Structures are given as C-alpha cells and as structure tokens.
Amino acid sequence: MTVTEKAPWFAQATRGERWLVGVSGGADSVGLLHLLVAEGFKELVVCHLDHGLRGEASAGDAEFVKDLAGQMGLVCEVGRADVIGRMAQRGESLETAARGLRHDFFAECAGKFETKTVLLAHHADDQAETVLWNLLRGSNGWKGMREVQVLMTESGVELELQRPLLALRREEIRAWLVARGISWREDASNLEPIGIRNRLRNEIFPSLREIAGRDAVAAFARAAGDAAEAEALEDWALEQAQVRDPQGRLHLAVLRSLPVVVQRIALRRFLLDQGIRGVDRRLLERGLELLEVENAASINLPGGARLRRREGRMWVEL
C-alpha cells in the first residue's frame, strides 16, 4: 500500500481546487507539499510564517521554503510574526501564541487568494500528542484533531483546516522523503525539553512504549477515532434535545430535564461555539451551578466573558 493509499483524503480531494498549504520547512510539511504535487495538485499556494524565534535558523527556513516553492513553480507567501511580543501582551503560552498568529496569517492569505481552505501536515503522531494533552488538561477527553476543521479567526475570517496526512505516521513520511532523496530543514529545538509537545514526544511517549511494551502512539491515535464516533453520538443527542432557543441561547427548562452527562455536553458545545477557550471539567461544573436559581446568576469565563442566567435562558456576554 502506498503512502497516499493510506491517506484517504487524497482519493476524495479535487485536484483543480485552489489550496493554501502551510509549509514550515520541516519533514512533515515538505512531505505534504511533495505528495500534493506528485498527486497532480497544481493550484497550490505555499504559506510560510517566520515566527522569529530562532534567529538565523528561522530566516533560513523561510529561504528554504521560498526556494522549494520556486523550484515547483508555485506561489509562495512568507509572513513574519512577533510570538514573544504576543506572549508578553496576552499572557499566552508559546504554543498558543504561535498558533493564533499562524491562523491570522492564514486568514490574510485566504483573503488575498480567495480561498478559505488550508492544508496542514499534522499526522498520527501529532494526533496522539493532542489526545494525551487534551486528556491531561481535562478539556476534551480523548478528543483529537479532525481531518476537516472549520474555525473562526480573531479577525473574523472563517478558515477550513484540512489534514491530509492524519492517518500516516511520522516515520512513514520521512521514509517516503528519504527514498526519493528529498531534503528538509531540521528544527534542532524539537529535541530540547521545552514546550509541551516536545516533552510528550521525546519523553512521555517513549516511556509509555517501554512500560507497556507496545506502540503508545498508535493506541492514542485510535482513541481519537473512538472519540469521533462518540462525538457523532453527542451530535445526535443534542439534536434530539433541542436545548437552544431560536436566538441560540440555552433553554434552562430543557437543560434541567436532561441527564447530567448530556447537560455537560450541551454546555461544553455551547461555550465552544461562542468562542470560549479553556473549557474544562471544572468550568462546566461551575456553569451547571447556574441551573439552580438560588445560586449566583453569572460566572466569569476565560477571556473576560461571562456566562449569565436570566428569565429561563443562559447566554455568554462578551
């Protein structure tokens, strides 16, 4: 079975459509770009954001990506971001700040090239790391990344993120590149014990494999598939419950009639749809306390918003 046969996305995607492709210069994104070209995708726009975190190495990544795009005859957009500045201004982690700036950059590219679809090179190993981190945070259970995800950026631009390589392992992508003599940029900081993903990748998963005597990455990636099926069941349950009123607010009488587990699901989905980040089990329990009229009529939410209760409805006030 070939690499693309293991990735169902390629059999379903339209070759003639315009796609933005996030390319960092690392093996995963370089592999994605080469696979797309090899599979006949021509309307590609290579998008590279220089986070400015590694000095000359960051500049070298940008030059590498520009040269690669030029060799392939593809349009290339290169941006630069101040990740450290955003961290200081907003109190965000490095990963959160960098992700937010990437989304803003993709939004700019989407407007310029009149497409909202961005292809990203996340793979099964990234999926496993996401599942474990979500589980440890208590925010999304075993939920991982979706192959297709629609999100609204801070600038109000809707993006559709697609992950063609989500079924592939990191080793498979690198083996495909090596077999064809294709080079990439190696980010030395990926081996340093900094950042959550680095530590999960370099410390936790190797330890889990040693302890369990089996591939822990595969187990967590499978769990993401199970979580997706559970999410489909949640969708069905919420559709049957009709817990939101015509204005999109939570209808408290309906919410109170549901089992607690469905109340929690309904509130979590509602808060996420309102753009609230950092929704964890503790926040959901505090939110459900609003169902009791003797309790306070509002609670604070991350980002300065409030969840309010009045006249049988619950809504987010920004």
Q: If you write DSSP's letter for every residue of 39-105 in order, what string do you get?
A: TT---EEEEEEE---STHHHHHHHHHHHHHHHHHT-EEEEEE--HHHHHHHH---HHHHHHHHHHHH
Burial zone of 11 (CB within 10 Å; 0-12 exposed, 13-18 middle, 19+ buried): exposed
Number of Cα atoms under 13 Å in the Cβ half of residue 101: 22
Find the helix or strand (DSSP H, E) in which 117 lies: strand 117-119
Nearest-Å Rg of the Cα atoms of the chain is: 21
Q: Are 119 and 19 in contact (CB under 8 A)?
A: yes
Bridge partners for 55 per DSSP: none
Nearest-angstrom CA–CA distance, 50 and 316:
35
Q: Are 227 and 216 in contact (CB under 8 A)?
A: no
Nearest-angstrom CA–CA distance, 118 and 128:
21
- Note whether 3-204 and 242-317 share their fold: no
Residues 6 or more apart in contact with residue 22 via CB below 8 angstroms: 29, 47, 48, 49, 102, 106, 118, 119, 120, 121
Which stretches of 213-317 are DSSP H helices? 216-241, 252-257, 260-273, 281-288
List the one residue out of 30, 12, 22 whose CA is nearest residue 183. Answer: 30
- Assign a CATH topology to domain 242-317: Chorismate Mutase Domain, subunit A (1.20.59)
Domain boundaries, the chain: 3-204, 242-317
In order along its 318 residues, the chain shows pLDDT tens digits of 788 888 989 998 989 899 999 999 999 999 999 999 999 999 999 999 998 887 788 889 999 999 999 999 999 999 999 889 999 998 888 888 889 999 999 999 999 999 999 999 999 999 999 999 888 876 666 778 989 999 888 888 999 999 999 999 999 999 999 999 999 998 767 766 667 888 999 999 999 999 999 999 999 988 888 877 888 888 898 889 999 999 999 999 999 999 999 999 999 989 988 888 788 889 999 999 999 999 999 999 988 899 999 999 999 998
Structure confidence by residue, pLDDT tens digits, 138-171: 666 677 898 999 988 888 899 999 999 999 999 9
Helix (H, G, I), strand (E, B) or coil at 296: coil
Q: Give the alpha-carbon dihedral of 175, 177, 183, 185, to 10 degrees.
A: -70
CATH of domain 3-204: 3.40.50.620
